[in-house]
Amino acid sequence: MVGTRTTSPAGGLSHRAWGRRSVDRIDHSDLAELVSDVGPAPLNVGVVVLLGAGATSDELVLALVDRLGRVPRLRQRLVTPPVVLGRPYWVDDDTFDPQAHLRHQVCAAGDTAAVLDVAATALTEPLPRTRPLWRVHVVSTPDGRPAALVLVAHHAVTDGVAGLWVLQRLLDGAGPADLPPADVLLPPRAPDLLLENGAALRRRIAGLPRALARLWQGGLELGPGPWFGTGAPRTSLNRPTGPRRRIAAVDVALAPLLAAAHRQGCSFNDLLLVATTSAMAQVLAARGEHPDRLVASVPVSGHPAALVDEPGNSVGAMLIPVPLTGATRDRVAAVARSTRARKVAARGSSSSLMVPAFRIAGRAGAFHWVTDRQRLLNTFVSNVRGPTGPLAVAGTPVLELVPIAATAGNVGVAFAALSAAGRLVVSVITDPDVAPETDELASRVGAELTAMADLAGA
């Protein structure tokens, strides 16, 4: 028998197994996030769910425990075997208790800025590797009303698209009770790990020529500068980051921006890239710096659909140089051309080729040194499309979804966008010691997006 998983009638742990036990290893994209987590702030991602009036704290906690406890990945922990036994793998945590992953906090001010301060602290708290890699902060007002939920997971667990699927398991009407009984992942035996790792190694060797060809193609399309570390200009926003983060967010209507993108013959992501880098350029100008371009790293989802049926990372990345001079229309057009040219190469992730180098650098203690000095990129810009209809949790209306994501190395400013229910929320995530202008950046992004929306009627 090639491999089996065992399932108990109630979806709990069952210790009957026969033949070889299946091995649910993290893939190369997940491993890249795991081995990259070497900086002073952990590589966590998440979302802030701002709530209206509705359920009590007790009712909300009951819903959280029931719904999140039904997602198989959230009941599993990572095991890192010796190198000869291959990549880390998931097993069920037989001591799993959803309540242990919930934290209760009172937000003194009770406003969005105060909640985002709570989220920034939650984002920078490491998640124990001995337990499932997630946590939910239930944030209440001083009078006890639930004000927000802050969901945080390690980036090795999920990317933005797959994380949205986890979020939907939390929302009313998502059908968490309809999930099939959970497959149980028992700890595999060493001989099974050796056999499975040997087969995987043979597949990687067989695919090496193709991976090298894709890497070479990507290098040609990006140009020699970014691949060799000199493609992004030096700026004061690119200094080694520390353990602290600040988050600010701007909320704008989505429809005018989609109309502007259609009129320009570009994607909405192209508008977002120009708006965010323009905000950075204005802050840099106030510092006396005037680069002619900034380079943004943009994730390219490899998921086959807008939503997927399990967590995990399936993403490539492309580096997009964004010009900072010229008319807005011309800049948008230039970004659209770059995006179209590079998206195909980025979608074929070369992580299977790069992760071994990451692991070697990490073991040698050099990875953090390299990321603190890289000149590949100036910022990260991500965008995820969320649900379109009204949202609620345990009968409580969701007022806003605010994405939060890690920024690391010498990238002092990052942006995360999430569209849902006709609104677009763009989060600005900064190291306040590198970029104290967090609120100013958010304000300038909002102004740029408003100006972009005016393109629809021009």
| Sheet with strand 413-420: strands edge to edge | 246-253, 423-430, 413-420, 379-385, 293-301, 315-323
Is residue 357 situated within a structural domain? yes
Whether residue 282 is found in the same domain as residue 168: no
Whether residue 355 is found in the same domain as residue 425: yes
Whether residue 50 is found in the same domain as residue 124: yes
Whether residue 189 is found in the same domain as residue 216: no
Choose one of 194, 221, 239: the last residue of a domain.
194
Whether residue 177 is found in the same domain as residue 302: no
Whether residue 444 is found in the same domain as residue 309: yes
Is residue 242 situated within a structural domain? yes
Q: Containing H/E element for 46?
A: strand 44-51
Q: Phi, psi (5° rounding) for residue 142? A: -55, -25
Whether 379 and 272 have beta carbons less than 8 Å apart is answered as: no
Q: What is the domain-level CATH number for residue 108?
A: 3.30.559.10
Is residue 413 situated within a structural domain? yes
CA angle in degrees (0–180, nearest 5) for 341-233-404: 75
Is residue 433 situated within a structural domain? yes
Q: What is the domain-level CATH number for residue 453?
A: 3.30.559.30
- Show pLDDT as tens, one digit a residue, over the chain (458 residues): 333 333 333 333 333 333 445 678 887 777 777 878 888 999 999 999 999 988 898 999 999 998 888 888 889 999 888 877 778 888 899 899 999 999 999 987 668 999 999 999 999 999 998 999 999 999 999 888 899 999 999 888 875 555 676 788 888 875 544 444 445 565 666 656 566 656 665 665 565 566 545 544 444 344 444 333 458 999 999 999 999 999 999 999 999 999 999 998 999 999 999 999 999 999 999 999 999 999 999 987 654 444 444 555 445 678 999 999 999 999 999 999 988 877 655 544 445 545 555 555 555 566 778 888 888 899 999 998 888 888 999 999 999 999 998 888 999 999 999 998 899 999 999 999 999 999 999 999 999 999 988 765 55
User: DSSP string covering 386-452, please?
Assistant: ---S--EETTEEEEEEEEEE---TT--EEEEEEEETTEEEEEEEE-TTT---HHHHHHHHHHHHHHH
| 3-state secondary structure at position 294 | strand
Choose one of 169, 194, 219: the last residue of a domain.
194
Is residue 13 situated within a structural domain? no
Look at residue 414 in the predicted model and tell me its pLDDT: 97
What is the spatial distance between Cα 335 and Cα 295, in angstroms, rounded to a whole number?
11
Choose one of 162, 194, 226: the last residue of a domain.
194
Whether residue 308 is found in the same domain as residue 434: yes
Whether residue 134 is found in the same domain as residue 174: yes
Is residue 315 situated within a structural domain? yes
Q: How many domains does the chain divide into?
A: 2
Whether residue 168 is found in the same domain as residue 251: no
Q: Which residues of 96-120 are buried (b: 16+ CB within 10 A; e: fewer)?
A: bebeebbeebebeebebebbbbbbb
Is residue 201 situated within a structural domain? no
Look at residue 229 in the predicted model and tell me its pLDDT: 42
Crossing angle between the packed helical segments 208-222 and 351-363, to the nearest 10 degrees: 90
Whether residue 280 is found in the same domain as residue 429: yes
Is residue 15 situated within a structural domain? no
Look at residue 6 in the predicted model and tell me its pLDDT: 39
Whether residue 147 is found in the same domain as residue 246: no
Crossing angle between the packed helical segments 351-363 and 28-36, to the nearest 10 degrees: 30
Structural domain range at position 163: 24-194
Tell me the HSE value of 427 on the side-chain side, using a 13 A CA sphere: 31
Look at residue 94 in the predicted model and tell me its pLDDT: 87
Whether residue 343 is found in the same domain as residue 395: yes
